[in-house]
Amino acid sequence: MVRTLASLLLTLVLFGAAGVREARANPWTRGAGKYFIGLSYSRIAATGYYGPDTEQRTFPGKFTQNQLSTYIELGVIDRWLMMVIDGTLWRHASIEGAGDNGGLGDLRIGFWSNVVRWPLNVSLGVMAGVPTGEARRLSRGLTGAEGVVSRTLRTGDGEGDVELGIALGRSFGGGGSVWPLEHYVVLQAGYWLRTRGFADALRYRAEFGTRYAGLPVLDRLWVIVRFLGIESFASNAETTDDASGVGSGVTVASWGVEAYVRILGGLGVSFSFAGAFRARALPAGANMTWSLSYQK
């Protein structure tokens, strides 16, 4: 009974995370010259991971990962063109007693266009993945625990890819004393075209944010709930046996909560925590993220 409860708890705190980049973009594109710059730090600690069959497996030692990432939106043409940069600046992973590795991770660059403004904001986008991280191709010949360790410690997937996406959004509420709460809803989906033998995948995100718009202090705080995931078309046999999060067949369905606070002007900070309902080829450990951002 205790083991069952422990396994359930571990599943609930799983974050699809080691190398999984959240599929994100804003249905409300930024005006020309306007921008958003975010810098985030995240950490994972785990003793096991979820294999290609979604069953939990153990590492030969404790796994830890520290990651520094950036996310940038830059308005190029009012409404019609916004540039997005989403990348891992530094990623360090280690398995106690087995090895460690650190370096630059992968990068995604793309463009989004706001094609509809009413009754919903609808944007279409394309994101290109650039394999700037270390893929460790030599580890593909390794088997057993040695292969799992080598593949888990890589910092990139080693393949270029393209994602075609659509994002829908609507903001509402905040009508004074009658309903002082302001809300927004975002729905996003994308088809991820992979190369180098990686199976294609679907990516999705549903997000709901709210704040108390009626008070000068509380209106700085946004509370956000989101569901997001990746559904790979790879079979269990085609899924890599590791926990890097950048291998073929990575699949995750997760939930997350975030608190964002605007400090002054466009400067803000946030803290987020996420868990998963199911996953494969990912570490079984909690991931917490701290972020600093500025927008104009």
pLDDT confidence of residue 264: 93
Reported confidence tier of residue 11, pLDDT bands at 50, 70, 90: very low
Sequence-separated (6 or more) residues with CB below 8 Å from residue 6: none
- 16: pLDDT strictly greater than 50: no
Distance separating the N- and C-terminal Cα atoms of the chain: 53
pTM: 0.87
**In the numeric block, which tokens belong to residue 207?**
């997000």
- Whether 133 and 144 have beta carbons less than 8 Å apart is answered as no
**How far apart are alpha carbons 21 and 17 in whole angstroms?**
7
| Burial class (CB within 10 angstroms; exposed 0-12, middle 13-18, buried 19+) of 56 | middle
Residue % of the chain over a pLDDT of 70 = 88
Domains and CATH numbers, the chain: 2-295 (2.40.160.40)
Convert the pLDDT of each residue in 35-69 to its tens digit: 999 999 999 999 889 899 988 899 888 999 999 99
Residues 138-173 pLDDT 10s = 455 556 778 888 889 999 999 999 999 999 999 998
Q: How is residue 30 annotated by DSSP?
A: P
Q: State the pLDDT at residue 20.
A: 53
* Structure tokens belonging to residue 97: 């007693």
